[in-house]
Every structure is written in structure tokens, then in C-alpha cells.
Structure 1
Amino acid sequence: MIDVDEAQARLIAAAPHLPSETVPLAEAAGRVVTVDVVSMRTQPPFASSAMDGYAVRTADMPGPVRVVGESAAGRRYPRPLGHGEAVRIFTGAPVPEGADAILIQEDAARDGDALTATDTVKPNDHIRALGLDFAAGDTLVAAGTVLAPRHIALAGAGGHAELTVARRPRVAFLATGDELVPPGSPTGPDQIVASITPALAATVRAAGADPIDLGIAPDDRAEIARRCAAGIAEADILVTLGGASVGDHDLVKPALSDLGIEPDFWKVAVRPGKPLMFSSRPLVLGLPGNPVSGAVCAVLFLVPLVKAMQGVTAPLPEVREGILGRDLPANGPRRDHMRAVRSGSTITPASRQDSSMLAVLAASDVLLVRQPHEGPVPAGSPCRYIAL
């Protein structure tokens, strides 16, 4: 059994980088850019006015000076500004050559074409300099960035109509067990709903992957092997759900062995989720069948693997600092991830932590992280958590 840090490191080290593809700017949100996005232009491409008012020469202030024309966004004043002249100007419009400040309209008195300043105006007042935002050749978005709408806006302003991003990983999910039925199906007296598959599909979709549902395999070694082989052929990652422990009906590991697949590691010192299995060739991640265990292990292991395949710079979940909301007893030998609620900086774990309790998970918004063999901790102590 290996610890969480080693398991995560080995997963990320084994992740192959997927090929790149080009997508339209409007479709790039949530994708991972694989090459630096370098500006093709300077922004702003000219000195522009930050306010409505008048373009003036400070040497001529406080005036009076003569208003000789207008500069608007998309339509500049065509001549240099001469001695004793001013130009009416609007926000975003090019500043005429020769002008060195904007006299805002609140500080201006105008009588016909005669203009006088009613307050002090200094050089460069209210002028956005050429290249204030960025210049041609600047790196706007670094490779490995997950593209958010703000990155899309910046790339577009830099002249890009398309971006080069990683192909979406294909992640196939195979649930196993005679006791499982799909959501919405009638259940027999000894059956439960396989609700974790759609939840994990949503999880990897949010991480940039395309999920594939292989359905539910019965507790039949040959059938599990057949379904696993189909998933491996179709997807970049096969994720099995359940059947990876040591019971008589835990058949995933022997079924994979029938396909010539042996795990790089099996069992991780994590709670919930100890019976976790991973093969790097081909990529197979065996998650626990308990729904909460599977969901927690997806946050810790599956999402980092999916992100690493896309070239994300920091694929591991961010561990943040908080203040513990209630007393906790000593922890056991595995790193624990308690379902908890955050209020401001206070992290309060739920009183019930059974790995089958989806209602507790749904009511939680963070995982409180406790190290192996951590002693009792009183309320008010510093703690560490992962946001859900």
C-alpha cells in the first residue's frame, strides 16, 4: 500500500500528453492551451482618451483655446493639434498628434468654439498610452492554462480567432456488480442505483474530458474482461467502478489480468477509497464502488490524471488553509478526507462520515484533509482542505 502523494505522483508521471487541435476562439473555454498565446498586435494600438472631454496642449491651458474638430472612437481627428487649438474627444478615441492631455468635460467651460479650463490639467492626464495593456510579441496566456472567459477575451484582443488546445481525453466508465441498476430503472429487493457513473461523467467533463458510459457489467469475469477490452480500445482512460477489493465477487483485477494488464499499484493509504488500482499501460484506473469513495478518489486521482494528459501546469487539487470548526479525535493510518462545510475560513466536518452516504457528500463543499496518525485536534486549530 502506497501513500496519496506517491500515488498522485505516479499517475501524473504516467499521463501521456494528448495531441493538439485548433478550435475557434468562441469554443475554447475550458480547454487547455498547449502553446503560448502570443499577441499579434499592440493594445491599445494608439494613444486613446480615457474620458469624454477635450484633447489639449497643456502649454495652452487654462486657455482660452479654439475647438477645431472632433475625435470619436473609430474616427480620429485627421490633423496635428496646433497652438491654441483643442479637439472635442470621446472615450476610446485616438488622441490627436500634438495633444498631451485630456481636459475632462466636467472641468471645461465652453462658449461656442472658445474653451477654457476650470481646473488644473497636467501632461498625460486621462490618456491611455500606446501599448498600455500589452504589446505585439507579449505572451498573453501561457501554455498549460485552462482557458477561462477572461483568457478568451485577452486572446481575441491580441488578434487570435483560433487557439491551439489539447484534444479532450476520452474517459470510459464501467460499473460492475449484480446489485447495480441504472438511474431511473426499477430496483430488485437486493439492488441499488449506480448513481456514481453520471456523477463521475460530470466530474471529468468539467475537467475537460469526454465521458463514455460502458454501462454496468455483471459479476462475471469473462464479461468484465470483454467490456474492459472494449473500453480500452475506445477511450484514453478506462475507469472501473467497484470490484477492485479482495472479496469473492471483486473480479476487476483478475479480469484485467486475463487481458495481460497488471496494476502499477493497488491499494492506497487514503480514506475513503483504499482499494484503488492503477495501470499505466494501458491507462486503467480502478475506483472503489462505494459512491462517496469513488467521488473522493476522482477528485484526488482521476481529475489530476485527466488534467495532466491535457498538459495542465498544476493538475493536483489545491490544498488550502482554514480553521477547524469542531474538535476531532486522532486519525488512523490513512490520509483522511472528511466531508465538511466551509463558512468563511471555518471548516466544519460532518458528524457522520460513512463512505456510502451521498447526502452528506451533497451537503458538503470541501474535503477536510487529515494526515496519517494525526493526533487529536481542538476546534480553532489550523486545518487544510480541498474545495469540491
Structure 2
Amino acid sequence: MSNWLLPENLADVLPMEARQIEDLRHRLLDLYRKYGFELVCPPLVEYIDSLLSGTGSDLNLRTCKLIDQLSGKTMGIRADMTPQISRIDAHLLNRSGVTRLCYCGNVFHARPTDSLSSREFLQIGAEIYGHAGVEADLEIIQMALDTVNAAGINLPILDLSHPGVVRSILELDHNASSNSDLVVSLLREKDVTGISELTKKFIRPDTIKMLQSVCSLYGNVDDVMLNARKILPSVPGIISALDSLQILIDALLPNVQLSIDLADVWGYGYHSGVKFALYADGWREVLVTGGRYDNVSLAFGRARPATGFSLNLRSLASGLKLAKSKAILAPWGRDHVLLETIRDLRKKGEIVVQILPGDYPDQDEFLFDRRLVLFEGIWQVSYIS
């Protein structure tokens, strides 16, 4: 094996893309700061007991583990930063009121989600702690919409769901609740045939019928909400979930393109309330995922309502058009006036590249549209025709 080959599903980020990622990172963190979110930077590695507290089995399978040579304890390379942010809010900041936190950092997955996915992500996101009302969910969703708009993506599609619907159905049937992992896997694939075979697990026929009905409850928000209230039982958990969704729908329409999927069980063991995903035409993958997860911080000794979102910044940037930065060419020299002129241009925000002796720059990242020339004893910027 050549010593310059990388492990599978890992890749270097080259200059133009790296600059695009950094520009977008700066733009988004500045946006979150304007909303009043404070930046935190947790470590890349920490003890596994803390890193996986309050999360489901999916995150455990995605986490690479290693032994700390100092303590002998098992550590993990984070696969998701959200549990770390919850730990900071609950255990370190320990505020009584609402806390708004944002973050950006690398995460690593033990296995790729598919053959085309990378195992390393640059995760950026924002979380609100301390408010259980739908107002916090609405603020987070608006920030997620502003995030994709800041990246230049217009007319995103917002898909809403609520795990409380499926959870309430399962709670009505002990055998269904005992086989929740199997049920969730079938709902994830909308496998109506597989759901019908749940009779082998002694799940009641009425429960199976409700689960099959949930598989069809996706698409247009008005139709789905109307049919859900007709088809599903009027138990408190389902009513509460549908009411929460309706409040968001009323607040977001008609300014946002909405869809709904009540069989979306992504993050079922993690999310406690409204969850959402953002899509856009021409994009293979989901752009942003988020939702409410009130139960996570209990593992850190302090239960706090929580809602937030995150996205893979590298994936988002890679789908955008790469743009070269305009730059000025300057000759090599140590002339005092030349150096002062270059320094002044850089202070004004211009990119100035001095040509080293015997070289001509051919960087892909820059578009050299101007050059510094000496005209009548004065260094001047001249456009390259």
C-alpha cells in the first residue's frame, strides 16, 4: 500500500473547497451570534460513559473507541457533538434560564452510512436549552432555514414529524412496546408487509392496523393532519403531538414549503418532540436535521428541555459552486514603497500575492484580475486585460 493513500471513506480537503468551507463556517457562526447563541468548543475525544450518555444505540455503533493510556478508561472519538453540548449546558454552565449555544467541529464515524459517504464530518449546529414550549422549536427551525439561505440555497423543503405519534401507539400494546426496535425498523422502510407479519410477535391486530396507517401519513400537511386525526386514536400522546405540529404549521405557512411524515422514525430513541429535516431540489442528501430531545441532559444529573439542529458543513459546501477569489499579482522586491503599497492593500481586504523569483502563480483558488505596476515612480493597481 502506498504511504500516501488514506483509509476508506476519508478524503483531504483541497484549497478551493477548504476556503469555501471556512467562509461558510464564518458566515453561519456570525449568523448564530446575531440570534444570541454563544460558541462552545468541546474536545474531540472524551470518556465513553459521558460521550454516549442519554443517546440511543445508533450513536454507540457509530463511535470509534480507544483506551486512554493515562487512566486505562475507554474513550470515544465523538460521532455527534450534541451530547457534548448538553453536558456543557447541564454540568458546566448550570444556568437556570434559557441558554443558547452553537458549535462547529470535526466528528468521526466508525462506519460510513453508505458507499458514497465520508466517515469524517465538520458538524455545525445550534441548541436551545431551558424552554419546553413550541416557541423554542420555532426559533430553531427559523435558524435552520436561515442557515441554508445563507449558503445560497433557495426554496428548501421542510419536512416535519413527531415521534410521539408512534410512541403513543406502541404504549397501547405491551407486546408492541417490547418489540419497539423491530417496529421502528419496519416503519423506517415503510414496510407494510413486514408490519402485517408482526402477529408472530403477538402484537394486536388493531395496533398493526394503526402502524400500517401511519405508513401512509406523509406528504401534504393539510391532508396528513386531517387524516391523522380521523384514523388515529384520540389518546393524549397523539393529540399532543398533532397539536404541536399544527402550531408550527400555522406559524410557518405560507412562507415555507412544508411536508410531513408521521412514519419518520429517524432518531426515535433520542427525540422527544417535534423533529424536522431540510431538503432542496438537486441535493442527494438531507441538508439539516434537528428536533427536540428533552431527555438527554438527565444523564448528566440535570434534566433540561432542549431543541436544536445540526448539519455537515463539508457536505453542504461541497454542493455549492466553487468560486475563485479575485487577487492582485505583485512583483518580487524589497522596495520600501512596494512593500508599503502591498501592506495597505491587504489592510483594505485585498488578496495580494508576490511572485517569487522564477515563478508564476497558478493557484486554482485565485483569479488574478489585477497586478501592481510601477508607473511614473508610483506603484498602481492595473487591471489585466
Tell me if TM exceeds 0.5: no
Question: Which interval holds the TM-score relative to the shorter structure?
Answer: under 0.3
Please report the TM-score for the alignment, with normalisation by the length of structure 1.
Answer: 0.26
Q: Which has the higher contact order (CA 8 A, sep 6+)?
A: 2
Q: Radius of gyration: which is bigger? A: 1
More strand by share: 1
